[in-house]
Structure 1
Amino acid sequence: MATSGNTQIGRFMLLSMAVAAIFNIRNVVNSNIAIGMVAVPSFLFATVTFFIPYVLIIAEFVSLNKEAKSGIYQWIRSSMGDKWAFVGAYCYWFVNLFYFTSVLPNILVYASYAWLGREVQISPLATVLSSIMLFAFATWVSTKGAAWVARVTSIGSSLVLVMAFAFVALSLGDWIGGVTPATPVTVSAMTPTFSWAFMGAMAWILFAAGGAESVGVFLNDVRGGARTFVRTIVFAGLLIGALYSVSALVLNLYVPASKLSYSSGVFQVFGALGAHHQVSPLLLNRLVGAVMLIGSFGTLMVWTAAPVKALFSEIPKGIFGERAIALNRHDMPERAAWIQFCVVVPLLVIPAVGSSNVNQLLNVVINMTAATALLPPLIIMAAYFHLRLRLDHLPRDFRMGSRRVGLAVTSVLLAVFGVAFIAAIFPADQNLLLTLGYNVGGVVLFLGWALWKYRQYERSLLTSEPLPQPRARASAGARHSS
C-alpha cells in the first residue's frame, strides 16, 4: 500500500476501478431469474444500505492501519486480534472455493457459444467432469507463474464492461423509442414480497454489490486523501447501483424473466436485442461467448492463484505445515494450490448428484456462492462494531461519523446480512438432505476446521520457547483473542 507521499490514483481511475471490480451483467441476469423485476429496487437498496457504508468501513480500517500491507487480515486483527483475523483471511479463501463451483460450469457454456454459437446440452455429471479437468489445467498454470494472466484479465474485464454498457444503452434507447417491454413495468411488479425466498435472493443482490474491500485498500493512494476517496466512492456506489437497476429494468425488454435460464440467460437477452437490430444471431452468440469466455477464463486463472498465495503468506507461520506453504521457483505455494484443487472437486460433485440438469446445478452453486460470500463482510463488520464499541480512541484520519452513528449503521448491516445469510444457507424449495449436507455441512466443516486448526496453533505457542511472533505487527491498542 502506498504512502500518502506516493499517491498516483486520480478520481476517474478510482471510479473506473470500482465499476470494473463490482459490476457484472451476469449478476443482473441471475437476480432477474430469481426475483424478477423486484431486482430493480433491490439493487438500489443494496447500494445505499450496504455498498456505500461498507466501503466507508473499509476506508476507516485502512486509515487505522496505514502501514499495513496484509489487507483483511490486518484490518480484523487491529480490532479483534489474531484468532478472528485468521478466520477472516481463511474465509476469503473458503468463499473462493464455492466461487469455482459456479464459474467453472459457466466457462463451459461460454466456450460452446464462442465455438459453435449455441449451448451444447450436457448432463450435470458431464459438466462436473469437464469442470474438474478445466480446473486442473487452471491449477497447473497457476503453479507455473502466470504474469500474462493479468493482461488477459484486464482485457477480458474491459470487454465485458463495454459489452454491458452497450447492452444497457441500446436497450434503453429502444425502450425510449417505443418498444413495449416483454414484462410490463409496474409498481406492483417491482414491489418486494418479504418472503423467505426473497431474503435468500437478497444474498445474490448483496453478493453482486460486493467487492468493496478490493477498492477500499487504495484509500492512501488517492490524490486528495480520505475526502476525495469518500466522495468518489460514494458517487461510484450510486453509479453502480443505478447501472445494476437500469440493467435489471431493461433486461426484460425483449425476454421475460420467466423465460431466462442460468446457463444461457446472457445469450438470450443479447440475442433478442440483436434480433431487433437485425444482427446475425450466430455471429452475436459467438461474439458474446468469446467476450464472456476471455473475461471468465482470465478471472479463473487469477483467482486460482491469488487467494492461495494470500492466505499462506498472510497468516502467522506455524498454523500450516512447512511443506504445505513452501514456495516453488515461481514464488507460488504449489502444494497448497493442489490441496485447493482436491477440496474443490467434491464441492463440484456433491450438488451434481442432487441436480437433474445444468440449470438446477447452477441454481444450487450460485446460491451457495452468494451465501458464503457474505461471511467475510460479516466478520469485517463485526470487527468494525468492536472497534467503535471498545477501541474508538485509536487514532485514524477518517471515521464514518460519530461513535453512535458507526454503531447504529453497523448494527443494521449485521442484521440484514445475518438474515440474508441464513435464508441463503436454507433456500426455499431445495432438497433438505442437499441443504443439510452441502450448505450447512460445508460451512460447519470448513469453519470448524479453521477454528480447530487455530486452536492447535495456540497450543503450540504455549509449549514453545521463545514464543514465535506473527508476521504482521498489530496496531496500537489491539486486543488479542485467546
Structure 2
Amino acid sequence: MPKTAVELSFSKLVLIIATTVFSFTSMSNAYYLMSYGAIPWYILAAVIFFVPYALIVSEFTGNLGQYSGGLYSWVGQSLSQKTAFLTTFLWYSSYTIWLASLFMKVWIPLSILSFGQDLTTAKASFLNIPQVYWLGLGSCLLVFLVMYLISRGFLTISRFMLLGGSLIALLFLVATVSNITLLITNHGHFAQPLQASALLHSPNPQYQGLFGNLSFLIFGITAFGGLDTVASLVDRVGKNRRKFPLAILVAAGLIMGTYLLGIFFWGASANWQAIFANHQVSLGNAMYFLMFNLGHELGGALGLSAAGATILGQVFLRLTGLVLFWAYIGLIMTIAYAPLKSIITGTPTNFWPAFLSKENKFGVASKAVFGQGILICLLIGVVVFSSAHAVNLYNNLTLMTNVSRSIPYLIVALAFYRYRQQQKQAYLLIEQRYVGWASGLVCVSILLGIGFAIFEPLLQAHYLDATLLFIGPLCFSLIALGLYRYFGGRTTSKQP
C-alpha cells in the first residue's frame, strides 16, 4: 500500500466523519441559546441543509473519489476549472484565517485541564513579558509542530483525527450516561421542566420572535458544516474509498442523532435559569459550565458530600478540557491539510511552480504546508504583537471570511445539479426528479444564511461589518482570479 493512502476500517471512517462535523461545543451552545427550543430548529436545519448536502457529497465521493482534488474536482468536473479554483480559494482562504484563531483558542481547554479555569486572558507576565506574547509565541511554535506532523502524511493526520474523534465520542458518552443516571435517580424528573411549549419557546429573551428564531436556524445550519472538508480526504483512504459514500450517510445519521439527544439530555441536569443566570456564561464557555454542573449534580445524586460533588464536577470539567484540547488538534490538522491539498493537487499539472507543488515521500506538498504555516504565524502576530489597528485588521479579515466560507456550499450544490445533467454516474442516491429539490434546498438555506449574516449588522447600524461581509467574497474572488490568470497560463492541461 502506498504511503499516501491509509486503510481505515468502515467504523473508523464513520468515526472520523461524524466527529469532524459534530461539535460538542455547538450542542452545548444550542442548549444555552434555546434550551429544548433548539430541537425543532436543528431538525429543520438538518432537513433543509444537512440531509440533502450529505446526499450530494456522498454522490460526489462515490463517483469522483479517485481524484485527489476533492471539492476542486467536484466543481471542476461539473462547471469549469476557473470556477473550481475560485470556489476552492474562497474555501481555503476562509479556513486559513480561521486557523489563526484556532491555534490561539487551543490553549483555553489546556488551561482548564491544568488549572480548572481559563487563564489565557489573565493580565499576567513572565520574565517581564506579558502573557499574551507568550501565548502568541506558543501558538506559532504549535503551528510549525502541526505543519511538521502534516508533512509526515495522511497516516499521521488520521491518527490525530481518530484520537480526537474517539475522545469526543467518549465525552458524549460520559455526558449522556451521566444525564440518564440523573434521570433514574430523580425518578424521571428533568432539571429543566419538559413541556410541549418548551419546544416552541426559548427561555432566552434574545431568541424570541421570527428574527430571533431565524438567527438560531442559521446557527443550526452552521453546526452541520464541515462535511466537504473531511470528504475531500476520500482519495487517501485506500481501498476503503468505495465505502466512503456509505460512511458519509451513516455518519450523517449519527450526527443528527447525537445533536438531538445531547440537547434533550442536557435538560436532565441543567436548569436553564439556574445555570445561565450567571452573567459570566457565554458561547465560549457554556459547555464548561454545563459539564461542571453535570458532575456536581451527579455527585449529589450518588450521595457524595458537597466537597465530593465539587471534586466530581472538577473531574468532569477537566475531562472536557482534555477532550477539547485533542479535538482542537485533530480539527486543526484536518482543516490545515484538506483545503490546501485540494487547491494544490486538484489544479492541473504544472499549474503551481514545481517547488510549491512537489510532494514528498509521504504524498504531501510539504513546502506549501510550511508556507501556509508562515502565513498563519503572520496572522497570529497581527493579533498578538501588533497595535490595536492591526488587531482591527485581523477582525475585519475574519468578518470578510464569514460569507466566503458559505459560498462553496452554494457552488457545490449548483455543481451537483449540473453534474447530474451532464454525466452518467455509477453511484446514485437521488432520483433524477429530486435532484433539483436537493440542490435547491441547499442553495436556499445557504442564501438565507448569507442574507441574514449581512442583514443583522445593518439592523444594528454596524455598517462597516455589513460592508466587509459583502466585499469579503469579492476581494477573495479577485485575488483568486488574479492567481488563476497568472499561474493558469503555465499549462493547458484539463485534468480534474
TM-score, structure 1 normalization = 0.78
Distance 2:132 2:406 in 1: 25
Q: CA deviation at 1:289?
A: 1.5
Out of 339, 343, 349, the position equivalent to 2:375 is 339
- Contact residue 400 and residue 406 of structure 1 kept, 8 A: no
Alignment partner of 1:263 is 2:284: yes
Alignment partner of 1:386 is 2:418: yes
Distance 2:7 2:159 in 1: 21
Q: Which moved more, 1:241-250 or 1:198-207?
A: 198-207
Out of 266, 284, 303, the position equivalent to 1:251 is 266
Q: In structure 2, give the amino acid aligned to 1:335.
A: G
Q: CA deviation at 1:87?
A: 1.8
Distance 2:397 2:276 in 1: 20
Mark the CA change 1:127 to 1:29 in structure 2 (over 3 Å): closer, same or farther. farther
Q: CA deviation at 1:43?
A: 2.2
Alignment partner of 1:172 is 2:188: no
Distance 1:397 1:7 in 2: 24
Counterpart for residue 59 of structure 2 = 60
Counterpart for residue 285 of structure 1 = 317
Distance 2:264 2:135 in 1: 33
Q: CA deviation at 1:75?
A: 1.1
Counterpart for residue 464 of structure 1 = none
Counterpart for residue 492 of structure 2 = 468
Mark the CA change 1:421 to 1:198 in structure 2 (over 3 Å): closer, same or farther. farther
Deviations 1:325-364 (A, max 9, x none): 57789851233431343356558899987999xxxx99x9
Deviations 1:84-105 (A, max 9, x none): 1112222331231343255344
- Contact residue 403 and residue 470 of structure 2 kept, 8 A: no
Out of 462, 473, 480, the position equivalent to 1:450 is 480
Distance 1:80 1:23 in 2: 30
Deviations 1:83-141 (A, max 9, x none): 11112222331231343255344322212211111122727998975664344223322
Counterpart for residue 478 of structure 1 = none
- Contact residue 385 and residue 406 of structure 1 kept, 8 A: yes
Counterpart for residue 256 of structure 2 = 241
Within-5 A mapping of 1:62-461 = 62-65=61-64, 67-100=66-99, 102-120=101-119, 122=121, 132-146=136-150, 147=152, 150-178=158-186, 180-191=189-200, 195-213=210-228, 214-215=230-231, 218=234, 229-230=245-246, 233-252=248-267, 253-256=269-272, 258-259=276-277, 260-278=281-299, 279=309, 280=311, 281-316=313-348, 331-332=365-366, 333=368, 334-343=370-379, 346=382, 371-388=403-420, 390-391=421-422, 394-427=423-456, 432-433=462-463, 435-436=465-466, 438-457=468-487, 460=489
SS at match of 1:195: helix
Q: CA deviation at 1:324?
A: 5.7
Distance 2:65 2:356 in 1: 31
Distance 1:396 1:217 in 2: 20
Distance 1:275 1:189 in 2: 25
The size of the alignment, in residue pairs, is 453
Distance 2:397 2:480 in 1: 22
Mark the CA change 1:292 to 1:217 in structure 2 (over 3 Å): closer, same or farther. closer
Counterpart for residue 305 of structure 2 = none
Structure 2: runs of 5+ lacking an equivalent: 125-129, 202-207, 300-308
Q: CA deviation at 1:157?
A: 2.7
Deviations 1:240-285 (A, max 9, x none): 2121012112234325274442232221111001111224133433
Q: Which moved more, 1:181-190 or 1:426-435?
A: 426-435
Distance 1:210 1:238 in 2: 14
SS at match of 1:419: helix
Distance 1:285 1:103 in 2: 20
Q: CA deviation at 1:301?
A: 4.3
Mark the CA change 1:131 to 1:450 in structure 2 (over 3 Å): closer, same or farther. farther
SS at match of 1:210: coil
Q: Which moved more, 1:117-126 or 1:104-113?
A: 117-126
Q: CA deviation at 1:223?
A: 7.4
Mark the CA change 1:26 to 1:18 in structure 2 (over 3 Å): closer, same or farther. same
Q: CA deviation at 1:450?
A: 1.4
Distance 2:397 2:282 in 1: 14
- Contact residue 288 and residue 317 of structure 2 kept, 8 A: yes
Q: CA deviation at 1:305?
A: 4.7
Mark the CA change 1:233 to 1:38 in structure 2 (over 3 Å): closer, same or farther. same
- Contact residue 255 and residue 269 of structure 1 kept, 8 A: no
Counterpart for residue 45 of structure 1 = 44
- Contact residue 15 and residue 162 of structure 2 kept, 8 A: no
Q: In structure 1, give the amino acid aligned to 2:373.
A: A
Mark the CA change 1:88 to 1:351 in structure 2 (over 3 Å): closer, same or farther. farther
- Contact residue 18 and residue 233 of structure 1 kept, 8 A: yes
SS at match of 2:261: helix
- Contact residue 145 and residue 331 of structure 1 kept, 8 A: no
Deviations 1:290-348 (A, max 9, x none): 22222213433453355334423332366656666577898512334313433565588
Q: In structure 2, give the amino acid aligned to 1:274.
A: G
Counterpart for residue 23 of structure 1 = 22
SS at match of 1:69: coil
Mark the CA change 1:312 to 1:12 in structure 2 (over 3 Å): closer, same or farther. closer
- Contact residue 11 and residue 222 of structure 1 kept, 8 A: no
Q: Which moved more, 1:171-180 or 1:244-253?
A: 171-180
Distance 2:293 2:146 in 1: 38
SS at match of 1:189: helix
Deviations 1:402-448 (A, max 9, x none): 32210122112211111112213444576615513653343332233
Distance 1:224 1:305 in 2: 18
Distance 1:144 1:10 in 2: 26
Distance 1:336 1:224 in 2: 28
- Contact residue 117 and residue 283 of structure 1 kept, 8 A: no
Structure 1: runs of 5+ lacking an equivalent: 462-466, 475-482
Q: CA deviation at 1:382?
A: 1.2
The share of aligned pairs that are identical, in percent, is 17
- Contact residue 325 and residue 335 of structure 1 kept, 8 A: no
- Contact residue 351 and residue 487 of structure 2 kept, 8 A: yes
